[in-house]
Amino acid sequence: MKIIDLAPEHEEIYCQCLEDWSDEIREAGSHKRDWLAEAKGRGLRVKLALNETGTVAGMIQYLPIEQSPADGRGHYFILCVWVHGHKQGRGNFQKKGMGTALLQAAEADARGLGARGMAAWGVLLPFWMRASWFRKHGYKKADKLGMMALMWKPFAPDAQAPAWIRPRKKPQAEAGRVVVTGLLNGWCPAMSMVHERARRAAAELGGAVEFREIRTADRDVFLEWGISDALFVDGKEIRNGPPPKYEKIKRKIARQVRKL
């Protein structure tokens, strides 16, 4: 196994989260590619794990915490670490030490760049990106927002713990129409997929439904809302646990249309 920096020849597969076999990833559109073009200039770091035959099997992506959904100083924030675990496509590479190797490489890189610590999000339930995986690797919980823990490993003795930036504003229902609001950063294809499903459902349901896109990769926009990625139908959030299916999103919008 080898850990390498993201190179142009791997950008396409990186933007597909290594899931080039997945129709769902195609639904996510080009948001990640657009985001990547900008994030490179904002300090994004990406490392890939290659197996012995050169297949890209894992990735870790992290950026200065000042560009992340957390509030902190001089840290890097891990947006995502992912070792391909599906049988489809390139196959399951989990539990072979790749995740650990990626995390160690990212931490060494961040230390070399003078970071005061590393932060990451983790789910407090035993699925998806588990907070417990970071705990095993020496991270502590610095903050919590619902089921989302902010995990943290200080490198400097006087490093200050980061905290989540909390929601500051949410869309309101409006008379005479249904407003579907998609807040989108663009870094995560799962979120982009939900966003594009909502856009499609809103268009299909016709004139009474308005789709509004709010691009939170713009830091000022993110700070105005305090929300990086979310989908609202009128004032109500459709939770982004596992990505909701197109039919579920359409049903929720249609229910609001019937109430008009």
Ligand X SMILES: CC(C)(COP(=O)(O)OP(=O)(O)OC[C@H]1O[C@@H](n2cnc3c(N)ncnc32)[C@H](O)[C@@H]1OP(=O)(O)O)[C@@H](O)C(=O)NCCC(=O)NCCS
Q: Residue 259 Cβ, how far from ligand X at the closest point, in Å?
A: 34
Q: Does 97 bind ligand X (CB under 6 A)?
A: yes
Rounded CA gap, 90 and 32, in Å? Answer: 21
Q: Residue 26 to residues 105, 194, 239: CA-CA distances in angstroms?
A: 30, 12, 21
Chain centre distance of CA 86: 19
Q: Residue 189 Cβ, how far from ligand X at the closest point, in Å?
A: 9
Cβ-closest position to ligand X: 99
Residues 175-204 as x/- pattern, contact with ligand X by CB under 6 A: -------------x----------------
* Residues 6-65 interacting with ligand X (rule: CB under 6 A): none
The single-letter DSSP state of residue 87 is: S
Q: Residue 139 Cβ, how far from ligand X at the closest point, in Å?
A: 12
Rounded CA gap, 227 and 252, in Å? Answer: 21
Q: Does 95 bind ligand X (CB under 6 A)?
A: yes
Q: Which tokens sit at 75?
A: 């840290």
β 209-215/230-233 pair status: unpaired
Stretch that binds ligand X, among 4-12, 20-28, 75-83, 249-257 (CB under 6 A): 75-83
Tell me the number of residues near ligand X by CB under 6 A.
16
Q: Residue 251 Cβ, how far from ligand X at the closest point, in Å?
A: 26
* Residues 126-155 interacting with ligand X (rule: CB under 6 A): 128-129, 133
Residues whose CB falls within 8 Å of the CB of residue 39, separated by 6 or more in sequence, listed in order = 63, 67, 187, 217
- Of the pair 59, 233, the CB lying nearest ligand X is at 59
Among the listed residues 14, 62, 77, 82, the single contact to ligand X using CB under 6 A: 82
Rounded CA gap, 150 and 256, in Å? Answer: 34
The single-letter DSSP state of residue 229 is: S
The single-letter DSSP state of residue 158 is: T
Stretch that binds ligand X, among 76-84, 168-176, 228-236, 246-254 (CB under 6 A): 76-84
* Count of beta carbons in the 10 Å neighbourhood of residue 201: 22
- Of the pair 124, 203, the CB lying nearest ligand X is at 124
- Of the pair 58, 117, the CB lying nearest ligand X is at 58
Question: Which letter, b or e, does each residue of 51-64 get, where b requires 16 or more Cβ atoms within 10 Å of its Cβ?
Answer: beeeebbbbbbbbb
Residues 100-119 as x/- pattern, contact with ligand X by CB under 6 A: x-------------------
Residues that bind ligand X (CB under 6 A): 80-83, 85, 94-100, 128-129, 133, 188
